[in-house]
């Protein structure tokens, strides 16, 4: 099978570009002297994670226990479940650990720490640190950091370390700001680890990471591992942040032109929001790509064209600036194929049960992905 024979919409992976993205991140982490624990929620795909492991990644990060179970069954046994644990999930975590999975969980509250120790099982636990005010975590200077650490340690849990995710880095777009955010993520997480150690508590691991900070850090002293996810595909949000070019985005949606509204300068495609996802992550950024950036069938961006609007199964392609393209029907004829670059690769990938992975020779292989919880 080759690309032109695929049913559209289809989620395409450019295997050569994905491999370059994997190699870029891995060589950066090697040079910075830290382990890379990729976040597999981006691809939710065994074949992708295997390529990351072959390139040198150690362990994986997951966002659901379903991912943990599926990857463990496929031979990944060092897994960090990087979403705060809920008491009701301790049973499934324990079941996976009793099958031999080295599954680590995360807490950021006394209530969660107490639930973990109340279970009576020796879970391995990390404390989540809030280094940027973006989402979850204990701030590095809070007294409760030590209380949570002591509750876990004295209660029989294995206090494995601290972890943080500088999600605020997605709002940046200059090298200077990204480097400063990477250093803030590093220094605040290391500070939390030092406080725990000074209190006599174990804290061997310091885990940080987001794609923008991982690709911007100048040094990672005191850090033991980095977690990055979206780098494997890249997307338009990352391009706007400034950590990749459009030509480094390995995931796209293959679409077919199905109609026109010539007086409005529109081409209609069969890739609506059901294919692209509802994620409008570039809306708040300097360059708003609507529901995606339009490329020709070979993957070359067609300057100025975006998916400006989307219904469930219709995408509306037009010029970004709102001007009417006078010859849209000639430029994008009915039946022609387009590749649409996604705002947010994790969200777009999640719309599809299978990837169509193509190689340099144009051959296409299906790769399954996990979905659900």
Ligand X SMILES: Cc1ncc(COP(=O)(O)O)c(C=O)c1O
Q: Determine contact, residues 164/190, Cβ cutoff 8 Å.
A: no
Distance, in Å, from the CA atom of 59 to the CA atom of 37, rounded to the nearest integer, reads: 5
- Residues 76 to 115: which contact ligand X by CB under 6 A? 82
Among candidates 304, 361, 312, 362, which has minimal Cα distance to 332? 304
- Residues 208 to 227: which contact ligand X by CB under 6 A? 209-211, 227
When the beta carbons of 21 and 318 are compared against ligand X, the nearer one is 21
Query: 103 by DSSP, 3-state: which?
Result: strand
When the beta carbons of 37 and 97 are compared against ligand X, the nearer one is 37
When the beta carbons of 106 and 203 are compared against ligand X, the nearer one is 106
Q: Using the rule CB under 6 A, give the single segment among 228-236, 294-302, 303-311, 364-372 that binds ligand X.
A: 228-236
* Least distance CB 276 / ligand X (angstroms): 18
* Least distance CB 39 / ligand X (angstroms): 4
* Least distance CB 164 / ligand X (angstroms): 8
User: Which x/- pattern over 265-304 shows residues binding ligand X (rule: CB under 6 A)?
Assistant: ----------------------------------------
Among candidates 141, 68, 64, 139, which has minimal Cα distance to 108? 139
- Residues 46 to 75: which contact ligand X by CB under 6 A? 61
Distance, in Å, from the CA atom of 351 to the CA atom of 362, rounded to the nearest integer, reads: 23
Size of the site for ligand X (CB under 6 A): 12
When the beta carbons of 8 and 61 are compared against ligand X, the nearer one is 61
Interface pick for ligand X out of 140, 149, 155, 229 (rule CB under 6 A) = 229
When the beta carbons of 97 and 227 are compared against ligand X, the nearer one is 227
Distance, in Å, from the CA atom of 95 to the CA atom of 213, rounded to the nearest integer, reads: 34
When the beta carbons of 64 and 70 are compared against ligand X, the nearer one is 64
Our separate counts of H helices and E strands in the chain read 12, 17
Distance, in Å, from the CA atom of 204 to the CA atom of 226, rounded to the nearest integer, reads: 14
Among candidates 135, 133, 128, 130, which has minimal Cα distance to 112? 128
Interface pick for ligand X out of 49, 65, 105, 230 (rule CB under 6 A) = 230
Interface pick for ligand X out of 231, 289, 355, 370 (rule CB under 6 A) = 231
Interface pick for ligand X out of 228, 241, 328, 356 (rule CB under 6 A) = 228
Q: At what angle do helices 65-73 and 90-98 cross, to 10 degrees?
A: 10
Q: Alpha helices of 199-336 — where are they, by DSSP H? A: 211-214, 236-241, 273-276, 328-331
When the beta carbons of 208 and 332 are compared against ligand X, the nearer one is 208
When the beta carbons of 151 and 210 are compared against ligand X, the nearer one is 210
Tell me how long the chain is: 373
Residue 28: φ, ψ to 5°: -65, -45
Among candidates 97, 115, 119, 118, which has minimal Cα distance to 107? 115
21 binds ligand X (CB under 6 A): no
- Residues 183 to 212: which contact ligand X by CB under 6 A? 209-211
How are the residues of the chain apportioned to helix, strand and coil, as percentages rounded to the nearest 5? Answer: 35, 25, 40
* Least distance CB 269 / ligand X (angstroms): 27
* Least distance CB 106 / ligand X (angstroms): 8
When the beta carbons of 231 and 358 are compared against ligand X, the nearer one is 231
When the beta carbons of 129 and 152 are compared against ligand X, the nearer one is 129
Give the count of alpha carbons within 13 A of 37, CB side only: 25
- Residues 161 to 180: which contact ligand X by CB under 6 A? 165
Distance, in Å, from the CA atom of 214 to the CA atom of 283, rounded to the nearest integer, reads: 24
Q: Determine contact, residues 249/343, Cβ cutoff 8 Å.
A: no
Applying CB under 6 A, the residues found at the interface with ligand X are 39, 61, 82, 165, 209-211, 227-231
């Amino acid at each position: 099978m080759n690309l032109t024979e695929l049913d559209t919409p289809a989620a395409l992976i450019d295997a050569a570009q994905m491999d370059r993205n994997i190699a870029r991140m891995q060589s950066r982490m090697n040079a910075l002297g830290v382990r890379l624990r990729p976040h597999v929620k981006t691809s939710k795909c065994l074949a992708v994670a295997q390529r990351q492991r072959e390139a040198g990644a150690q362990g994986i990060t997951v966002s659901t226990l379903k991912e943990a179970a599926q990857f463990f069954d496929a031979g990944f046994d060092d897994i960090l479940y990087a979403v705060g644990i809920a008491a009701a999930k301790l049973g499934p975590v324990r079941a996976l650990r009793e099958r031999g999975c080295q599954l680590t969980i995360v807490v950021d509250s006394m209530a969660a720490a107490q639930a973990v120790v109340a279970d009576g099982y020796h879970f391995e636990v990390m404390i989540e640190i809030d280094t940027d005010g973006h989402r979850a975590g204990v701030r590095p200077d809070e007294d409760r950091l030590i209380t949570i650490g002591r509750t876990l340690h004295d209660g029989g849990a294995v206090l494995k370390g601290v972890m943080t995710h500088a999600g605020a880095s997605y709002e940046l777009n200059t090298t200077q700001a990204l480097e400063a955010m990477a250093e803030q993520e590093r220094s605040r997480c290391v500070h939390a680890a030092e406080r725990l150690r000074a209190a006599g508590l174990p804290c061997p691991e310091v885990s940080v990471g987001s794609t923008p900070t991982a690709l911007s850090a100048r040094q990672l002293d005191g850090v033991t591992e980095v977690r990055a996810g979206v780098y494997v595909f890249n997307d338009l949000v990352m391009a706007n942040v400034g950590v990749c070019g459009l030509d480094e985005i390995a995931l796209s949606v293959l679409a077919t032109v199905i109609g026109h509204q010539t007086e409005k300068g529109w081409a209609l495609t069969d890739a609506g929001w059901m294919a692209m996802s509802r994620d409008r992550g570039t809306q708040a950024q300097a360059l708003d790509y609507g529901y995606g950036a339009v490329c020709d069938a070979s993957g070359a961006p067609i300057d100025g064209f975006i998916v400006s609007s989307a219904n469930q199964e219709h995408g509306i392609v037009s010029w970004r600036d709102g001007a009417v393209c006078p010859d849209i029907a000639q430029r994008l004829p009915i039946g022609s194929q387009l590749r649409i670059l996604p705002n947010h690769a994790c969200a777009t990938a999640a719309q599809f049960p299978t990837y169509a992975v193509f190689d340099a020779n144009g051959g296409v292989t299906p790769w399954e992905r996990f979905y659900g919880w």
